[in-house]
Amino acid sequence: MIYLKTDEEIELLRENNLLVSATLAELAHHIAPGVTTLDLDKVAEEFIRSHGALPGFLGYNGFPNTLCISVNEQVVHGIPSSKTVLKEGDIVSVDCGTFMKGFYGDSAYTFAVGKIDPHTEALLRVTKEALYKGVAQAKPGNRIGDVGNAVQEHAERHGYSVVREMVGHGLGHKMHEDPQVPNYGARGRGPLLKPGMVICIEPMINLGSREIVFERDGWTVRTRDRKPAAHFEFAVAITSKGPDVLTDFGVIEKALNN
Ligand code: MG
Ligand code: MG
């Protein structure tokens, strides 16, 4: 069942996703060699609560923390830990959720820790581009398959692979609503996009093969070949004028350039 949102509800979803964006921007100032992923989790939890929201992931299906932090070959759903110390050359996917005024925010950004190797840097750039290509298809009259196809085409054209097991989703009163939003697919297939739909588009793109495995903690997903993976996520409202991105990477990138 796909729930269409009113304009007022879309604004509440925007508020949430702007808070997620601000949280990720705050984290940009803290991500550095020597910092643990649990340190980052504490910064985010305090930031979210001080802005009158609840951490959206904490307790979700039993998830133990505020952030999912996935380093290098970890794709998504990494659990913050005092034992995971960031080092120069790492990449770190930070997925963040909020809950406020009855709605969820959910967005993700993959950060570089200091200087990273050029192949990994290209992976980050292309994954973000793939997200933007998907967003451009998120308009009324198109179908979910048009979004996934655009993401997949861009990633595969650069020789990367698309994770199949995890997908984007609708966003609203619940963190995960219909429809599912795969990062692959065929043009003209899948649910029709209509004004009022709010979806999370979140490419998970691997440098090597698309195969993934689950770690024994029951959460962390990593690449089978242990090559790096990147993950960027936008919440997007479908409007009669086209895609309205509710997440703001601008504040994150401004923080990174300071
Ligand atoms: Mg997310
Ligand atoms: Mg999501």
Residues 6+ apart with CB under 8 A from 47: 22, 23, 26
Q: How far apart are the CA of 117 and the centre of ligand 1, in A?
A: 25
Give the separation between CA 127 and CA 154, rounded to whole angstroms: 8
| Residue of 170, 143, 133, 237 whose CA lies nearest to 2 | 170
pLDDT tens-digit map of 164-197: 999 999 999 999 999 999 999 999 999 999 999 9
Burial 239-255 (b: 16+ CB within 10 A, else e): beebbbbbbbbebbeeb
Considering every ligand atom shown, identify the ligand nearest to the alpha carbon of residue 77 and give its number. Answer: 1
Say what percent of the chain tops pLDDT 70: 100
Considering every ligand atom shown, identify the ligand nearest to the alpha carbon of residue 199 and give its number. Answer: 2
CATH domain 7-257 topology = Creatine Amidinohydrolase (3.90.230)
Question: Encoding tokens for residue 65?
Answer: 């923390």
State yes or no: pLDDT of 57 exceeds 90. Answer: yes
Considering every ligand atom shown, identify the ligand nearest to the alpha carbon of residue 97 and give its number. Answer: 1
Virtual CA dihedral for 181, 65, 96, 205, nearest 10 degrees? -50
Length of the chain (residues)? 258
Considering every ligand atom shown, identify the ligand nearest to the alpha carbon of residue 168 and give its number. Answer: 2
Q: What is the largest CA-CA distance in the chain?
A: 48
pLDDT tens-digit map of 16-29: 999 999 999 999 99
Give the pLDDT mean for 68-77: 98
pLDDT tens-digit map of 198-253: 999 999 999 999 999 999 999 999 999 999 999 999 999 999 999 999 999 999 99
Burial 79-115 (b: 16+ CB within 10 A, else e): bbeeebebeeebbbbbbbbbbbeebbbbbbbbbbbee
Mean pLDDT, the chain, integer: 98
Query: What's the pLDDT score for residue 184?
Result: 98
Considering every ligand atom shown, identify the ligand nearest to the alpha carbon of residue 96 and give its number. Answer: 1
Distances (CA, A) of 197 to 51, 104, 147, 255: 26, 14, 14, 30
Q: How far apart are the CA of 20 and the centre of ligand 1, in A?
A: 10
Q: How far apart are the CA of 242 and the centre of ligand 1, in A?
A: 22
DSSP state of 36: B
Q: Is 25 helix (H, G, I), strand (E, B) or coil?
A: helix
DSSP string, 74-140: EEE-PPP-TT-B--TT-EEEEEEEEEETTEEEEEEEEEE-SS--HHHHHHHHHHHHHHHHHHHT-ST
Element (H, E) at 205: strand 204-206
Query: What's the pLDDT score for residue 22?
Result: 98
Q: How far apart are the CA of 96 and the centre of ligand 1, in A?
A: 6
State yes or no: pLDDT of 154 exceeds 90. Answer: yes
State yes or no: pLDDT of 9 exceeds 90. Answer: yes
Q: Chain-centre distance of CA 3, in angstroms?
A: 21
Q: How far apart are the CA of 97 and the centre of ligand 1, in A?
A: 7
Neighbours of 68 (CB within 10 A): 26
Q: How far apart are the CA of 120 and the centre of ligand 2, in A?
A: 23
Q: How far apart are the CA of 25 and the centre of ligand 2, in A?
A: 18
pLDDT tens-digit map of 90-121: 999 999 999 999 999 999 999 999 999 999 99
Q: HSE-up of 184 (CA within 13 Å, CB side)? A: 13
Query: What's the pLDDT score for residue 258?
Result: 84
